[in-house]
Amino acid sequence: MKTALSWSNLGSLVATAMVVRTAVRDIVPPEALGALRALSARAVAALFAQPTDTIVVHETDANGVPNELYDAAQLYLGARCLAAAHVLHLHKAHAAPDPVASLPDDHTAHDTFRGVRVAWTSQRAEAVGTYTASFGGGPARRYGPPVSVGRQQRCLVLRFPRRDRDAVRGAYIPHVLEAAAALRRSMRERKLYTNNPGYCGGGGGPDEHQMLWSAHPFAHPSTFDTLAVDPALRDAIRADLLRFVRRREHYARAGRAWKRGYLLHGPPGTGKTSLIAAIANLLEFDIYDLELTTVGSNSDLRRLLASTRPKSLIVVEDIDCSLSLFDRTRTPSSPTTDEGAEQEDNMVSFPPTMGPGMNRKKISLSGVLNFVDGLWSSCVGERLVVFTTNHVDRLDPALLRPGRMDRKVELGYCKGPALRVLAKNYLGDCGGIGDDDHEAVLGEAERLLEEVQMTPADVAEVFMGCDGDDGAHAALQKLVDHLNSKRIVQICAGSGNV
């Protein structure tokens, strides 16, 4: 009986609800019904939703100093989270290759990091007094410092589940900063610097870098794929460089400055300058081309070193011709010999005397050693020091030890693998890929290069006369003829007939 009464009551309740629903539809306007549904949905969402935390990142502080986190977040969002956005801001700086997207005001972008979903909203808020980021769990306007200067500025509001607070603050924010830094490196225009002759500096300040160095855009096309060197050597250098830039913590743990020295040596025309450009392009470093003969003293050299910036490649080309850095352990040659006369000429102090009474100090070997591996060498992080020379045997051993020149790279005469790279660079795929005639000529050239010394620069000069597919075979044959001529001269010279 009780069960029958319960089912009867339930049926009456359902029937009453249907009558009320029909009456409401007939009496209440559709707009009011929509508002009631939205209100009900919000109530249900508030009842069952997870609590959230909020981080407010203002564009500047009270003094107008830009907030690095705000700029990084905008750059990060533009590159990672706005691909499908219906509205975005686009900005292109002068000479920049591409425009940069950013999040417009009153719009939201979503991101996911390690399974955590976050929302970024760009809006305008009261300018803050002392802080550029604040933490809380309610509306963004309630957070931040209590001081207001009565002006509006842009800010980014980051919202995320409260349970993921540690992941967002401890990992996601550093991830945004690191990703933005990588994006800036790939977007920035890299520079080639050379030291200004005659300026000794000493004033310090932010303008000293500009006084000490002249900047020019760096746009050298050389890459590791176009280097005419042995593939095993090329891959080993590339792996060593990439390992170096990843090991900041390792260098700090070992108590060493985050730098590495390279000595590139070999005959002229073997690709030392091309390798330097390829290194700069691989690591996206600026180049500081240091001309030692224009530096007046060791103190000026230290000042130049201190004014360089991180992520830089400091290059001294032909170090054996710049200063008196000859091997002190060698017995001096007789002044009457040609070699001794040449060494005497190179032992003069640089820069040369400007005139009577000038008494300019010269750079010493000790000054260069301190430049490479002294206390001043640790003043700028993530840096490569590269010396080049055609005569490594003339340099003092103190300059060559590990810690100063950590890796010595010998670039020699052109051989088969380097020839194939040059053929592809200058002649295209027809220079030895999939064509029996080209392979035959290339094979003959490779065999001759084992007997005849020819630099990659000389081979490239032969190929420069080739223009398009029609001249590829002719260029290869011209190289073979040139090698045969050199081989005959070499044989005649060895037999004494020349």
On whether the CB atoms of residues 103 and 155 are closer than 8 A, the answer is no
Helices (H), ranges, 93-212: 165-167, 173-187, 208-212
Query: Cα 475 to chain center, whole Å?
Result: 37
Could you read off the pLDDT tens digit of each residue along the chain, which spans 498 residues? Answer: 444 556 667 777 777 777 777 776 777 677 777 777 777 766 665 555 678 899 999 988 877 778 899 999 999 998 888 887 788 888 876 656 678 888 888 899 999 999 999 999 999 876 555 444 444 444 444 334 444 445 678 899 999 999 999 999 999 999 999 999 888 877 777 889 999 886 655 555 555 777 899 989 898 999 999 999 999 999 999 999 999 999 988 988 988 888 999 999 999 999 999 999 999 999 989 999 999 888 888 888 888 888 888 889 999 999 888 665 555 555 554 443 444 433 433 333 444 434 433 444 577 788 888 778 767 666 767 889 999 999 998 888 888 888 889 999 999 999 999 999 999 888 876 544 456 777 888 999 999 999 999 999 999 999 987 665 557 888 899 999 999 998 888 888 766 554
- Alpha-carbon gap, residue 130 to 133, rounded angstroms: 9
Q: How far from chain centre, in Å, is Cα 383?
A: 12
User: Which residues on neighbouring strands pair with residue 122, listed in sequence order?
Assistant: 107, 156
CB 425 within 8 A of CB 271: no
Residue 289: beta bridge partners?
194, 315
Kindly give, in sequence order, each residue whose CB lies less than 8 Å from that of residue 1, ignoring residues fewer than 6 positions away.
none
**Spatial contact of 77 and 122, defined as CB atoms under 8 Å apart:** no
Name the residue with tokens 């005639």.
Answer: 437
Helix, strand, coil tally for the chain in percent (to 5): 50, 20, 35
* Token representation of residue 262: 């390279």
Show Cβ contacts of residue 161 under 8 Å, excluding neighbours closer than 6 positions: 50, 51, 52, 53, 116, 117
Residue 291: CB atoms within 10 A of its CB come to 16
CATH 3.40.50.300 in the chain is located at 192-410
Secondary structure of residue 155 in the 3-state scheme = strand
Q: How far is CA 495 from CA 482, 491, 498, in A?
A: 20, 6, 8
The tokens describing 377, both together, are 């060498």
Question: What single DSSP character describes residue 360?
Answer: P
**DSSP letter, residue 433:** S
CATH of range 192-410; options 2.40.50.420, 3.90.1150.10, 3.40.50.300, 3.30.565.10: 3.40.50.300
Q: Look up the pTM and report it.
A: 0.65
Q: Are 404 and 449 in contact (CB under 8 A)?
A: no
Query: Between the CA of residue 141 and those of 125, 129, 468, what are the distances in Å?
Result: 7, 14, 66
- Stretch (H or E) spanning 481: helix 472-495
CA distance 259 to 312: 10
